[in-house]
Structures are given as structure tokens and as C-alpha cells.
Structure 1
Amino acid sequence: MKDLLLIAMFAALGACSAGLLGWPVVRLLRRRSVALSLFIVALVTVLAMTAGTLAVARAMFLSHHDLGVVITVTSMAAVVSLVTAALLGRQVVAGSRALTAAARTVGSDAGFTAPGRPLGSELAELSAELSATSARLAESRRREQALEHSRRELIAWISHDLRTPLAGLRAMAEALEDGVAEDPGRYLTRIGTEVDRLTGMVDDLFELSRIQAGALTLSPARVSVYDLVGDAIAGADPLARERGVRLEGAEVAAEPIEVDGREITRVLANLLVNAIRCTPADGVVAVAARREADEVLVSVTDGCGGIPEPDLSRVFETGWRGGSARTPRPAEAGAPGPHHGDTGAGLGLAIVRGIVEAHAGRASVRNVTGGCCFEIALPSAAALG
């Protein structure tokens, strides 16, 4: 037992001596190549093993032959260990360089291209994360480009839509000023209508800007969706009568929701006015509400004949109006609200989506037989407790 302790002591002294000499070298080279660091670690390990072995061999007074055998075996083991460490270091460096080259493609138009050579588990995990990051960057870039395109379209359309009523207002004002208007009362009525349209357009732009800036302030309260739908139908009824469209709301459940009643009423009014204007005379606009799981689904189905499939994903985009014409349609007398829930600027459905998403809900549209169905999903107050 005493001999074993003595051997352990000599081995520890030899190994510690090599370790103390190697540690400063490892510290100095910690910012250098990984391959060099691996080689130095292997070298320190080999030197520690060799020093401990030689210290024990000398302490045991081995013969020159036996000492030569120990030194030979130790040297061969050291050579194999160092060669293996060098090869491993080169493999790690090659994988790291390949991943570095691949990382330069993150966020490019072509997308991230993973290295073709096999990688270690850590580098492979990093490669997968870079690939996911590149995909997120590409999606963010596409979203940004779509928003920029939508913003430019909106500016162009709003500029046109503002120019048209302003030109009309100027012409009518000049006619009244020059005294050439045959029916001044009709001109004044028309001026009031155009002012209402411009006021509605500005209001919609302000509302949309608040939504997109996240500055929309909500005052939620528990209300019945039945009451909200009833108020919206009552407000849209004059426009429906004038257009010869029948409103139906028989399938509206009295489900409680916790929302800002004023904002959701605006959502329903926009959907109803949009549906009425797109439905031909003698058509039907049906409103329904039901609860599914933790949501209350409110749908407005019209008879517009359907929306082309390529346009379904654009319906809620700012400025989208489903046609090439950009001139606002004439206002209908007796329609609800000062600007009839629609300024012709293509902002109504964008406002619908913004308000619904501000309530942690979602808005969607799908084609149905003879028309399309707009649906908003709102969290149920019963599910919230």
C-alpha cells in the first residue's frame, strides 16, 4: 500500500509539473485557432502522462532496458494522441470555416445554404438555427416589401381620391361665387356631401394610423354580441332599403363578449356597408353569430358573386378595393353615419382587421356559394370567466 501511495505521489508530481507549465500556454492561446487549442490541450495531456510515467520509472530504479521500453511505449502513445488531436482540430476548423462561409448567405435573396460537409452536433445545431434565422429574415423582408408596396399604393390612391372631390368642390364654389349656378341649393347639398366624404376619409386615415402605431385605446366592457349586431343592422338598414338588399340576422346567438362596443360596432358597420354595396338588388346579406370553443364567431355573408382566389389574401390590405377603379362612388342618401361607413379609399377592411386584432381576435374571408363570407373571431367573455 505504501508503494502504491509513493508511486501515486511521484506520478502526481510529474503530471502537475507538466500541467503548470502548459496552463499559461493554453491561456495565452485561448483566442487563437480552435485546432491549435485542441493540439495544445492534447500536448499538455501527453506531457503530463509522460512526466508522471518517467518520474515513477526513475523512482522505481528500472533497468535501462525496462526504462527504454517504458519510454518507447509512452512516445508511441504520445505520437498517436497528438496526430489524432491534430486531425480532430483540422476537422473542427474545416467545419467552422464551412459554417462561416454559409453564414454569409443569411438574409440573402437566395436564403441560407447549409454546409455540405458533415458537422459536429454543436455546429449542426448552430447551422439549423442560422437556417431558421435566415427564413425569419426573408419572411420579415417580404412583409416589409409588402407593407412598403401597400403604403405607396395607399398614398397614390388617397392622393387621387382627395384630388377628385377637391376639384369638384372648387368647381362648385367658383360656380356659386360667379353666380352661374342654376340651383344653388343643390350645389350646397352636394358640397356638404363631398365635405362629409373628405371628413370620413380623414377620420379613416387617422383611425388606421392609430391602429398601425399601436395607439388604439380600448375600453372593454361585457356586452352581448346580439345587441351589437342588432345595433349594426339597424344602422345599415336605410342603406339596405335604398339598394334593395334584405338584411337577415336570425342566427345571432346572445353570447357575451368583452370588447370595446364602439369599436366593434364600427367593425360590423364597415362589414355590413361593404356587403350591401357589393350585393345586387333583391339580394340578401346575412349576419350570424355563434360560439365555438373559447371564441365567438360573427359572420357577414353577401351576394357579391365571390372574390377571385388570388385576391382573397389581399382583401384586408390597406387600400385594396377589389377593382382597378379608384374613383369613390357617389354617396347614398340615408346611409348610416356621416360618411356611410365607407370613404371609397379602401381603408374599411384594413380598419376591421386592425380593430379585431387589437381585441386579440382575427378576421378572415372565404368564398361561399354566390358570394363571400367575412368572419371575425373574438374571445368569449364566458370563457374568460
Structure 2
Amino acid sequence: MIEPGESWQAMLAHVWHILPLALAFALPVALVGGLLLYWLRRGSLATTLTVLVLIPVLATLAGVLGISGFMFTPALTTMLLVCLLVALVTVPAAIVFGRAIARHSVWEREARERERAAEAARRDLVAWISHDLRSPLAGIRAMAEALADGIVVEKDEVTDYAARISGETSRLSGMVNDLFELSRITAGALRLTMSAVPLQDVISEALAAQTIVANQKKVQVLADADVWPVVTGSDPELTRIVRNLVSNAIRHTPPDGTVAIRVGIDGSEALLAVDDSCGGIPEDEIERVFEVAFRGTQARTPDHSGTTGGGLGLAIAKGLVEAHRGQIDVRNHGDGCRFEVRLPLATS
């Protein structure tokens, strides 16, 4: 009979005997797995986790086969079945968790990119607005000082200065209103009172507000419709959308050019298209036209009407269209570009 102390010593000696053999078979598998993981470092996270789970299972299997001398005994068969069951459980789990972690990582990366883009847009907005606010303020200050110091005394000159101060003040007021509107949209504080709104009334009101500017630039504004649809929306915000798009089209259309507004119905949506004669937008800029403070004036017809805003009109229009559950897009069309808005039709 073997004493307990002698049995323990014999078992320990047996372990030390088979340990190098098991290591010799398992280590190459682990090294190959490590190289495979390095090669897959830029691959999908699900694949990486699957390989990471398979490495210890395959290394264990290689070690067991090595120490058994590839003698398929009942004990070895049992061990192989256990390894197979472990692989059947862990590999699908690794694939599922890998895909979930990958989706979460992609979401976090996209969130960081959106945050960086928003921060860059805010910096651009501050830079643009600071510049645009200084220009009219400097003009108002200079004209006010000229009036206060008695430099301008003739009645006609005083009237002209007063009119110019009023114009610059209106421009500043419009920029402040744009900033307030944009802040409401970005903060999610915009509340719309939805109703059935005839699109013909909206366009008529928007065009009436742009008539003076169009006449000053000698730009012809035309509106055409196969049928005038009724949409679901808020009248003031819909008018703001059309006014911003028409104002942008007039601003970038050269004198004696034409701005065309076309209205129709496409399925369950009302279709509003505003065509200008700006000469087109470069392909590398067309995706940025709805960004805050983006103007792209270096690539489009310069504006000399004095109506240039803070670069917020299209960003506001996009936010208001999306608040109406509509879509807005832009593309080059003919000798200019086309802004296309789709809005849900009012239900009867």
C-alpha cells in the first residue's frame, strides 16, 4: 500500500514530468494565436474576440493531445468533448459581445467626432458673427459721431445718415434674431403649432418680404406650380424656411439673373424647389452648405447688395425643415444650384 506522502510525491513528480511536454505543444499554438491577433488588430472586434477565445481552448487541446501521445483513451475523449463544448459556448458569446462592443465603440467614436465638429462649428460661428457684428457697429458708431460732432449738418446728409444707421440697425437685429432662432433649434427648445397650411400663402408671404432686395439686385423671382399643396406645419416657421432659401438664392444670383420657385406633389409629400443662377457649388463644398456660418462666397457669385447675413440662413432652414419631419437637399442644377424641400402633406 502506498503511503499518502509517497502518493503526493509521485503525483508531483509526474506533473513535473509532463509539464514541459504540455508546454511544448501549447506554446506554439499560443504564439500563432498572438501573431494572428496582431494581424487582425485593425479588423473587426467580433473577429478579434473570437480568436482570443479560441486561443486558450486550442492551446489546452494541443497540450492534452501532446501529453497523451495522441492515444485516444476514454479520458482523452472526455477531455476533447469538454473542449468542444467550451468552444461551442464561448465562441458564439464572443461574436455576440464583440459585435455589441464594436457598435458601442463606433457610437462613441461618432459621438466624439460630432462633438468635435460641433465645437469647430461653434468656433467658426463666433468668428463669423464677431466679424459681421463689428462691421455694422463700426459704421453706426462713425455715423453717430459725425452727427454728434456737427460734421454732417446738411438736411439731406443728416437724413441719409439716419437712414443708413436705421439700415445697419435692422441688419444687426436680423443677425440677433437668426442667432436666437438657431439656439432654439440646436437646444431642442423649438415648439411648433402644427396645422394645415396652404403652401401658396407661405410662398406669397415670403416673396413679398424679398421683393425689395430682388429689385435692388435686378433679380427676377418666378413661382410656378402644377398644383398648390397643403402641408402640415407651422405657418411662421414655414415662411421662414422659404424666405431663407429665396434670400440665399437672390444673394448668390448675379444681376439680371432669375430665381425660380417650383412647387408640386410627389407621393405623400409636397415638393418645393428653389433654383438660382449662382454658377454652381464646388463638389468639395456642396456637403457643407448647411453648416453654421458657411458661405462659400469665394466659389460663388460675390454679393454686392449689402444683404449678406451671418451665414445662418441655410442652417436655420435645415433645422426648421427637420423639425417639420421633412427633408432638405441641395445639388447643382443647370447654371446654378437647386435647394429641394420635401414636407408631409396635410391629411384630410
**TM-score of the aligned structures, taking structure 2 as reference length:** 0.72
Partner in structure 2 of residue 105 of structure 1? none
**Does the C-alpha gap of structure 1 residues 367 and 330 become closer, same or farther in structure 2, counting only changes over 3 Å?**
closer
1:179 aligns with 2:150: yes
- The residue number in structure 1 matching 2:82 is 85
Match of 2:138 in 1: 167
> Taking structure 1 as the reference length, what is the TM-score of the superposition?
0.65
Deviations 1:106-153 (A, max 9, x none): xxxxxxxxxxxxxx1221122222222222222222222111111100
- Distance (whole Å) between structure 2 residues aligned to residue 329 and residue 368 of structure 1: 20
List alignment gaps of at least 5 residues for structure 1: 1-33, 39-75, 97-119, 333-341
Residue range with higher mean Cα deviation, 256-265 or 166-175: 166-175
Give the letter aligned to residue 248 of structure 1. L
Name the SS of the counterpart of 2:241 in structure 1: helix
Please say if residues 224 and 256 of structure 1, whose CA atoms lie closer than 8 Å, have aligned partners that are also in contact: yes
Give, in whole Å, the separation in 1 of the partners of 2:141 and 2:204. Answer: 40
State which of 203, 211, 219 in structure 1 corresponds to 2:177.
Answer: 203
Instruction: Find the partner of 2:262 among 277, 285, 288.
Output: 288
Alpha-carbon distance change, 250 to 84 in structure 1, aligned in 2, over 3 angstroms:
closer
Q: Which residue of 2 aligns with 1:320?
A: 294
2:332 aligned with 1:358, yes or no? Answer: no
* Secondary structure in structure 2 of the residue aligned to 1:179: coil
The aligned runs of 1:1-385 (5 Å cut-off) are 77=74, 80-82=77-79, 84-85=81-82, 89=86, 120-182=91-153, 183-251=157-225, 253-323=227-297, 344-382=309-347, 385=348
SS in 1 for 2:339: strand
Q: What is the rounded CA distance, in whole Å, between the counterparts of 1:267 and 1:252 in structure 2?
A: 21
Pairwise CA RMSD? 2.7
> Aligned equivalents of 1:293 and 1:306: distance in 2?
29
Q: Is the 8 Å Cα contact of residues 219 and 258 (structure 2) preserved in structure 1? A: yes
Instruction: Flag the 1:173–1:237 CA change in 2: closer, same or farther, 3 A.
Output: closer
Write the letter of the residue equivalent to 2:140. L
How many residues are matched? 274
Larger radius of gyration: 1
Instruction: Tell me if structure 2 keeps the 8 A contact 1:250–1:288.
Output: yes
Tell me the distance in 2 between the aligned counterparts of 1:282 and 1:160: 30
Q: CA deviation at 1:232?
A: 1.9
Shift of 1:331: 5.9
Amino acid in structure 2 at the alignment position of 1:224: P
Q: Relative to structure 2, which stretch is displaced further, 221-230 or 296-305? A: 221-230
Whether contact under 8 Å (1:226, 1:253) holds in the other structure is no
For residues 327 and 237 of structure 2, what CA distance do their matches in structure 1 show?
14
Name the CA distance, whole Å, in 1 between partners of 2:213 and 2:75.
Answer: 93
Paired residues of 1:329 and 1:344 also in contact (CA < 8 A): no
User: What CA distance in whole angstroms lies between the structure 2 residues aligned with 1:371 and 1:209?
Assistant: 30
Q: In 2 relative to 1, CA 323–330 (structure 1 residues): closer, same or farther, beyond 3 Å?
A: closer
Cα contact 1:226–1:252 (8 A) shared by 2: no
Letter in 2 for 1:223: V
Distance 2:78 2:296 in 1: 72
Rounded Cα–Cα distance in structure 2 between residues aligned with 1:331 and 1:187: 18
TM-superposed CA distance for 1:186, in Å, is: 1.8
CA shift at 1:348, angstroms? 0.5
Q: Distance in 1 between matches of 2:216 and 2:172?
A: 23
- The letter of the residue matching 1:204 is D
Unpaired stretches in structure 2, ≥5 consecutive residues: 1-52, 58-72
SS of equivalent residue, structure 2 residue 284: helix
What is the rounded CA distance, in whole Å, between the counterparts of 1:154 and 1:261 in structure 2? 28
Q: Equivalent residue of 1:318, what SS?
A: coil
8 Å CA contact 2:259, 2:277 repeated in 1:
yes
CA displacement at 1:80 relative to structure 2: 3.8
Residue 288 of structure 2: SS of its match in structure 1? Answer: coil
Shift of 1:172: 1.7
Between the aligned partners of 1:249 and 1:204, the Cα distance in structure 2 is 26
Deviates most, 146-155 or 188-197: 188-197
Partner of 1:68: none
Q: Separation in 2 of the partners of 1:152 and 1:324?
A: 20
Shift of 1:88: 5.9
Superposition deviation, residue 166 in structure 1: 1.5
